[in-house]
Structure 1
Amino acid sequence: MFFLHNRGGVNLRAIAVASAAALIIGCGIAAGHALAAEPAAAQSAPFTSDRLSVEVIGSGPDVILIPGLASSREVWRPLATRLSATHRVHLVQLSGFAGQAWSHGDGAFVAPEVEELARYIRAARLDRPAVIGHSMGGLSGLLLAQAHPELVGRLMSVDSLPFFSAMYGPQVTAAQARPFADQAAAGILSVDEATFRTQQVQTAAGLVRDPATRALVVDWSMASDRHALAAAMKDVMTTDARPGLAAMTTPVTALYASDADGGAPAAMADGLWTHEYAALPGVKLIRVDGSRHFIMTDQPVRFDALVDEFLK
């Protein structure tokens, strides 16, 4: 489920799009990370939900990893495996994405999912965990911290804006974006399978640099429930978290990508992220060059270093 937008003739990455996984399934290699032959033992989380599931590995301070739209939790597998040596990692899987069941038709996606994340933190008795979210997962983390600041210790947003549709112009409002969101959702539901795959293949090239990872992006998108995709995209395009930024007390680090070869130019990315996060007190904005939307797969070494610094 990919949508690109052009501003000034330059391709910008869609913020809430089908997730990419760096994981090469079966080969044990992900975006330059060698996965352990014996992964850390998964623990059963005391939680049941029709909105999400959580896999828990490792022990130590708690870290929650939230994937983006159409994503499998496997997009975080290299990071989770590495962190599990020192942290208890909670890998979220959102229902409806990457082959997971969806039972909510065309109903709301993001707000109920955020509330289920809050319920999970309480049910698992986590003490202000660190939260890392990519794309729509970053927006979810931001909304979670705004609605339940007592539950989130710190937040890392990975290539995610507080209002997706700001990419269409700084004056765009959620109300103005709604007709386009409805149109996007209708397109997801109406297009045939072959055309949908063609669209994903074309757009994936703008989201990820690695061809093998692009193929996985497409596969996970194709395995997602179309109604879940449509509902999530509509919510993301019309959810504006900017009004709540000024009152936030949760420390936030926002990573964003720049790629001179087919991605967002540095100056454009700087301007967009600085403007959209301007109201958030103390936000730490970090540009990652040589990367498209999936920073964790395009620049894994740099990404790991930034996560380690964030978790200190």
Structure 2
Amino acid sequence: MKHRTFTLMAFLFTSLTALAGDFDFKVTVHGEGQPMLLIPGLSNAAEVWDSTVEQFKGQYEMHTVTLPGFAGQPPLQNTEGFLNQVRDQLLAYIDQHGWQQPVIVGHSLGGYVSMLMAIEQPNLFEKIIIVDAVPFIPALTMPGATEENSKAMANGMKAQMSSQSEQMRAASLDMILASMITNPEHIKLAKQWGMDSDPASVNQAMYEMMTRDIRDEIAVIQTPTLVMGSWVAYKIYGMSRERLQQSYGAQYAAMPDQRLAVTDTGKHFIMWDDPEFYFATMTDFLNQ
């Protein structure tokens, strides 16, 4: 047992040391079994997956990611094309490890990145789990949105965020996170990650998600995909459960093998807000 433990620790130390030199993101490895890559949302740290790790580390070797520029991780040298750079580095990480048919889990921006990876390599993953993310954010609440007519809004948002002082950023996070998370301690944690993030990286990532429509591109993805959505997160914008389901369904209409499950109580951070729904839905999908 001592030899096995030492070998495992040596492997993890070696892989993480190599990782620091080869990639701009940080990875922590937990558990044993089939590889599972977990990608967090905008400005979040890998620790957002802690409860997911505890639930599944007995079945999966779980690689939790903190993306460059988020939650204290050093940013990319050039943030232009942020999402494509992240996509390519994550695919290179999978290739470096020689994984066959891993599972990928992504929350929010992480779900969008998961789709970008699967578009690039449609047969790479065994299963995909997307937690409250869509292929084109503007169209979720504005059905007529296009890449072109979303650019003005995205540019305005990017300019506004770029001009914020630290105090303004903190106030903005307070307002945004209260609509996304219920538990005050979780809000506090997510706010700290946000304050520790590089504003240029956050702004560029958000801009790219708002101006690239991949609703048609996901048609190439053959992988069974679970999409978990939250209508409560959009209730403040006048969204009903029925309208959310219709909007989500339209977003994923081109993807051949997908199922949608909607929580009735959880906000955007479903893994924190409605763990019973989250774990039951995820377990059922993984066991199929």
CA 1:236/1:260 → structure 2, altered by over 3 Å: closer, same or farther?
Answer: closer
The equivalent residue for 1:269 is 244
CA 1:76/1:261 → structure 2, altered by over 3 Å: closer, same or farther?
Answer: same
> More deviation in 94-103 or 42-51?
42-51
Report if aligned partners of 2:122, 2:223 keep a CA contact under 8 Å in 1: yes
Map 1:2-81; keep pairs closer than 5 Å.
43-44=12-13, 45=15, 46-47=18-19, 48-81=21-54
The equivalent residue for 1:283 is 258
CA 1:282/1:106 → structure 2, altered by over 3 Å: closer, same or farther?
Answer: closer
Report if aligned partners of 1:43, 1:57 keep a CA contact under 8 Å in 2: no
The equivalent residue for 1:113 is 86
The equivalent residue for 1:310 is 285
Q: For each residue in 1:15-54, what CA deviation from the matched residue of structure 2 results, as whole angstroms up to 9, or x when unmatched?
A: xxxxxxxxxxxxxxxxxxxxxxxxx979243534443122
The gaps in structure 1 that reach 5 residues or longer are: 1-39
Deviation of 1:72 (Å):
0.2
Moved over 4 A (4+): 260-264
CA 1:260/1:125 → structure 2, altered by over 3 Å: closer, same or farther?
Answer: closer
The equivalent residue for 2:173 is 200
Q: For each residue in 1:150-190, what CA deviation from the matched residue of structure 2 results, as whole angstroms up to 9, or x when unmatched?
A: 32121011000011121341121112212221222222211
Report if aligned partners of 2:125, 2:223 keep a CA contact under 8 Å in 1: yes
Instruction: Name the CA distance, whole Å, in 2 between partners of 1:254 and 1:84.
Output: 21
Instruction: Name the CA distance, whole Å, in 2 between partners of 1:305 and 1:201.
Output: 30
Map 1:113-152; keep pairs closer than 5 Å.
113-152=86-125
Report if aligned partners of 2:24, 2:74 keep a CA contact under 8 Å in 1: no
TM-score, scaled to structure 1: 0.82
Instruction: Name the CA distance, whole Å, in 1 between partners of 2:98 and 2:30.
Output: 16
| SS of residue paired to 1:245 | helix
TM-score, scaled to structure 2: 0.89
Report if aligned partners of 1:102, 1:225 keep a CA contact under 8 Å in 2: yes
The equivalent residue for 1:26 is none
For residue 245 of structure 1, what is the amino acid of its counterpart?
Answer: I
The gaps in structure 2 that reach 5 residues or longer are: 1-7
Instruction: Name the CA distance, whole Å, in 2 between partners of 1:161 and 1:202.
Output: 22
Match of 2:145 among 151, 159, 172: 172
More helix by share: 2
> More deviation in 173-182 or 119-128?
173-182
For residue 303 of structure 1, what is the amino acid of its counterpart?
Answer: Y
Q: For each residue in 1:281-304, what CA deviation from the matched residue of structure 2 results, as whole angstroms up to 9, or x when unmatched?
A: 121011111011010000112211
The equivalent residue for 1:90 is 63
The equivalent residue for 2:162 is 189
Deviation of 1:260 (Å):
9.0
